[in-house]
Each structure stands twice: as C-alpha cells, then as structure tokens.
Amino acid sequence: MNPRISYQESPQGFYKAMYAVENYLNNSGLTHTEIHLIKVRASQINGCGYCLDMHHKDALKAGETMDRLYLLPAWEESPCYTDEEKAMLNLTDVLTRIADSTPQQVEQAFDRMTKYFSKEKIANTVLAICQINSWNRIAISFGNIPGSYQPK
C-alpha cells in the first residue's frame, strides 16, 4: 500500500508552512500534554488512523499514560482529566465537529474555557485544534499509512 501523495511529491513549501505552525504551537504556552490530548482527540473524531498512531506514540514517549489515552473517547465521565483539560477537550470536540455544532455549543465551549484560561491561551488552543484537523485531512486525503510512523 502506497500513499496517494508522498512527502517528497508535495509542493515545495507545503510542509514548511505546516511545520511553522507546529513550531509556533510548541512555543505558545500550551503544554505538551495539552497538545497531545487535543491531537489524539481530534484524530479520534476524524478517524485518522495515521495521526492516531503518530500521536499515541508521541504522547506515550512524552510521558502520557495509556489509561488517559484509551479513556479519551469517554473524557467527560473519566476522573483522570482535570477540569481544565475537560474544557479543552470539550472545545476540541465542538470545533472538530463544527458542522454539527450549534452556535450555542460554541459559545458554551468558549465560556467554559474562560473559567480557566486567558484569551491568549484560548486562541492558541483554537489554533492547535485547527492545526490537527488540517493534519488529519492531509493524512487521510494523501493516503498516509496507519502504523508507519516511527517516533524520533
């Protein structure tokens, strides 16, 4: 099985632009834990096998626990996440499912975030959610092979 568009076949500057956003996010004040939870959760919702494989491996390597990763689909009822993490996961769910989310759900998700985070951190969280949704769409449409990612 081969990807439809490989890394080498991508337009010059394509990945450079995506990695520039990754670099920004890694220095934005979001913790690695927060970024990993957002990436795994959005990838679950979008059904992106390649990104699920990648972000599970990276999260485990960064110290995340298996329990917290496999309980992500049930984050609302799982006691292993903080209230702050649950607010981020809620926003991740609402924005990843934006076509099915009502304006009221978006407003409620934003209000929940304001209980814990500054506007700057909320904006960076929104960008992280947008970024992983973009990566999911790229990986799925390019035909990236789930299981082929090897952490550095």
**DSSP-derived 3-state class of residue 143:** coil
- The model's pLDDT over 12-65, given as tens digits with 9 standing for 90+, comes to 899 999 999 999 999 999 999 999 999 999 999 999 999 999 999 999 999 999
Within 8 A by CB and 6+ apart from 6, the residues are 142
- The model's pLDDT over 74-131, given as tens digits with 9 standing for 90+, comes to 999 999 999 999 999 999 999 999 999 999 999 999 999 999 999 999 999 999 999 9
- pLDDT attached to residue 126: 98
Rounded alpha-carbon distances, angstroms, from residue 90 to 14, 71, 101, 148: 30, 14, 11, 29
Checking if the pLDDT of 1 tops 80, the result is no
- The model's pLDDT over 35-46, given as tens digits with 9 standing for 90+, comes to 999 999 999 999
Residue 17 to residue 76: CA distance in whole angstroms: 34
- pLDDT attached to residue 7: 82
Of 56, 64, 124, which Cα lies nearest the Cα of 88? 124
Structure tokens at 40: 């795994």
With the C-alpha atoms ordered 61, 63, 65, 70, is the resulting torsion angle positive or negative? Answer: negative
pTM to 2 decimals?
Answer: 0.95
- pLDDT attached to residue 72: 98
Structure tokens at 44: 């679950």
Mean pLDDT over each residue of the chain, to the nearest integer: 96
Residue 82 to residue 79: CA distance in whole angstroms: 8
First to last CA, the chain: 23
Structure tokens at 89: 């996961």
- pLDDT attached to residue 109: 98
